[in-house]
Chains A and B, each alone.
Chain A
Amino acid sequence: MAIAETQAISSIRSGGSITEALGGFRLWWLVVPAFVLFLCFFVVPAVSLFAIAFDKSVPGVVTFAGNFTFDNFVRIFTRPLYYMAILRSIGIAAVVAACALVIGYPLAFVIAKTEHPGRNTFLMILVLSAMQLDTVIRMYGLMVLLGDSGLVNGALLASGLISKPLPLMYNTFGVVVGLVQVTLPFMVLSLIGIIKAIHPSLEEAARSLGATRAQAFWRVVLPLSMPGILAGSLLVFALSISSYVVPALMGGWKVMVLPIHIYQQIAETGRWQFGAAIAVVLFLTSLLAVFIYHKAAARTAGGRT
Chain B
Amino acid sequence: MSDIRLVNLTKTYGEGNAVSEINLNIGEGEFFSLLGPSGCGKSTTLRMVAGFIKPSSGRILIGSDDVTGLPPEKRDIGIVFQNYAIFPHMNVAENIAFGLKLRKRGREEIARRVTEALKQVGLAGYGERYQRQLSGGEQQRVALARVLVTEPRILLLDEPLSALDKGLREEMKFWIKDLQKKLGITTVYVTHDQDEALTMSDRIGVMQKSRIIQIGTPQEIYERPKTLFVTSFIGHSNILDVTVRGRHGDDVTVDLAGRELRARAADGVAPGGAAKLVVRPENVLLGGAVGERDMRLDATVLSETYQGAIVRYRLQVGAQEIVAERQNQAHVERFAPGTVVTIGWDPEWSEALVA
Contacts and interface: CB of A to CB of B under 8 A. Distances in A.
Given A210-B150, A211-B73, A205 B102 contact: no
A220 B72 contact: no
Contact of B146 (A204, A209, A301, A302): A209
Interface in B57-75: 71-73, 75
Interface residues of B, number: 26
B85 A215 contact: no
A244 B150 CA distance: 56
Contact of A209 (B82, B83, B147): B147
Interface in A99-130: none
Given A201-B81, A215-B102, A207 B87 contact: no
A199 interface: yes
Contacts of B98: 206, 209, 211, 219
10 A-B pairs with least C-beta separation: A209-B99, A205-B85, A201-B85, A207-B72, A210-B102, A201-B81, A208-B79, A223-B89, A210-B73, A208-B72
A201 B159 CA distance: 13
Contacts of A86: none
Contacts of B82: 201
A210 B99 contact: yes
Given A204-B81, A209-B146, A304 B103 contact: no
A215 B99 CA distance: 11
Interface of chain A: mostly helix, strand, loop or mixed: helix
B218 interface: no
Interface string B100-138: 001100000000000000000000000000000000000
Contacts of B87: 202, 205-206, 220, 224
B52 interface: yes
Contacts of B79: 204-205, 208
A212 interface: yes
B88 interface: yes
A208 B46 CA distance: 13
A206 B146 CA distance: 10
Interface residues of A, number: 22
A38 to B, nearest CB: 34
A210 B100 CA distance: 9
B78 interface: yes
Interface of A: 199, 201-202, 204-213, 215, 219-220, 223-224, 226, 301-302, 304
23 contacts: A199-B85, A201-B85, A202-B87, A204-B52, A205-B81, A205-B143, A205-B146, A206-B98, A207-B52, A207-B71, A207-B73, A208-B50, A208-B72, A208-B73, A208-B147, A209-B150, A210-B73, A210-B99, A210-B103, A211-B73, A211-B102, A212-B71, A224-B89
A117 B50 CA distance: 27
Contact of B89 (A201, A211, A212, A301): A301
Interface string B8-35: 0000000000000000000000000000
B77 to A, nearest CB: 6
B127 to A, nearest CB: 15
A304 B88 contact: yes
Most chain B CB within 10 A, of A208, A210, A212, A224, is at A208
Contacts of A224: 87-89
A208 B52 CA distance: 9
B85 A302 contact: no
B22 to A, nearest CB: 21
A207 B71 CA distance: 8
A212 B85 contact: no
Nearest to A216: B73
Nearest to A215: B102
A302 B88 CA distance: 10
Given A209-B98, A211-B102, A302 B89 contact: yes
Contacts of B146: 205, 209
B142 to A, nearest CB: 11
Contacts of A302: 89-90
Contacts of B83: 199, 201
Contacts of B103: 210
Nearest to A301: B89
Contacts of A220: 87, 89
Nearest to B77: A208
B52 to A, nearest CB: 6
A224 B83 CA distance: 17
A204 B87 CA distance: 11
A201 B98 CA distance: 15
Contacts of A202: 85, 87
A171 B99 CA distance: 50
A6 to B, nearest CB: 15
Nearest to B52: A204
A195 to B, nearest CB: 14
Contacts of A204: 50, 52, 72, 79, 81, 85
A206 B50 CA distance: 12
A206 B99 CA distance: 8
Contacts of B72: 204, 207-208
B133 to A, nearest CB: 13
A301 B143 CA distance: 22
